[in-house]
Amino acid sequence: MAVWAVGDIQGCHDELTRLIDKLQFDPARDTLWFCGDLVNRGGQSLAVLRTVKALGERAVVALGNHDLSLLAIAERKREDQQRVNPELREILFAPDRDELLAWLRRQNLLHVDRTLGFALVHAGLFPRWTIAQAMEMAQEIEDKLRSDGYRRLLKQLFGNKPDLWTPKLRGVDRWRAGINVFTRMRYCDVRGRIGFGDKGAPGTQRPGLYPWYEVPGQVKRDVRVVCGHWSTLGRFAGLGVHAIDTGCVWGGWLTALRLDTEEPEYVTIKSDRKPAPGKEMD
């Protein structure tokens, strides 16, 4: 049995297929953890969703900001859905659209396996959260996404405020702040306030901001964290964090990290893609 974590795919189905082949993935025994952002920009998002969904229990998915954005767009009027990019329109008007979106909405924001000693999240964790607190917050939001009231949350999903999670927050503000931590955070200040505009590699951020895993006074956690979201960071291992978004959609690599071995084992697939000029790495 092998357990592999896979970095951000973002619609790069050709690379995903080649990576699965290179891993010699056995769906009868092996498991793939996906760091989120299954969709958008790679041109093959519908195929990615169908492939990952078909893995059934052999796939563990942490929702990313692009995945949640797709779910939010799906709640808009039909004419508004027709205005999004062709790649997302292909999903929104596919014959199995409802099945795919319902499956995506049931995925996790955070997955923890204490036997393996790893937690899976798209972007990061609030610096003051223990794993237990992060699990509690994720469960609260996941329950809302899976409830009959999910449309209210999706319609108010995005926004940079509040940019600081606190236990005093309630309702949509609380859920949005939690989602911003799990799916959008790269840098934050010592209190945990997110610097949304800073997306470059460490060293390029504004004064007073730290990579989320380097914030002074960070809570010590009893599992390691594997995450994606940050292509300009690239592959990183340290401080209890394994970051594996290596920019496949930007012409970089699609990376897999084996989680069930004592020493890290990486497998990569080179992407031949060239990003369109002016695109932001978000």
As a whole number, the mean pLDDT across the chain is 96
Q: How confident is the model at residue 281 (pLDDT cuts 50, 70, 90)?
A: low
Closest among 166, 3, 145 to 70, alpha carbons compared: 145
Tell me the C-alpha distance between 158 and 76, whole Å: 14
Give yes or no for residue 276 having a pLDDT over 70.
Answer: no
Q: Two tokens at 278? A: 């002016």
CATH, range 3-270? 3.60.21.10
Whole-model pTM: value is: 0.96
Give yes or no for residue 278 having a pLDDT over 60.
Answer: no
CA atoms within 13 A on the CB side of 16: 29
Give yes or no for residue 1 having a pLDDT over 70.
Answer: yes
Give yes or no for residue 122 having a pLDDT over 60.
Answer: yes
Q: Two tokens at 202? A: 């460490």
Give yes or no for residue 79 having a pLDDT over 90.
Answer: yes
Give per-residue pLDDT as tens, 184-221.
999 999 999 999 999 999 999 999 999 999 999 999 99
Measured CA angle at 69 (ends 142, 58), to 5 deg:
55
pLDDT of residue 275: 66
pLDDT of residue 274: 79
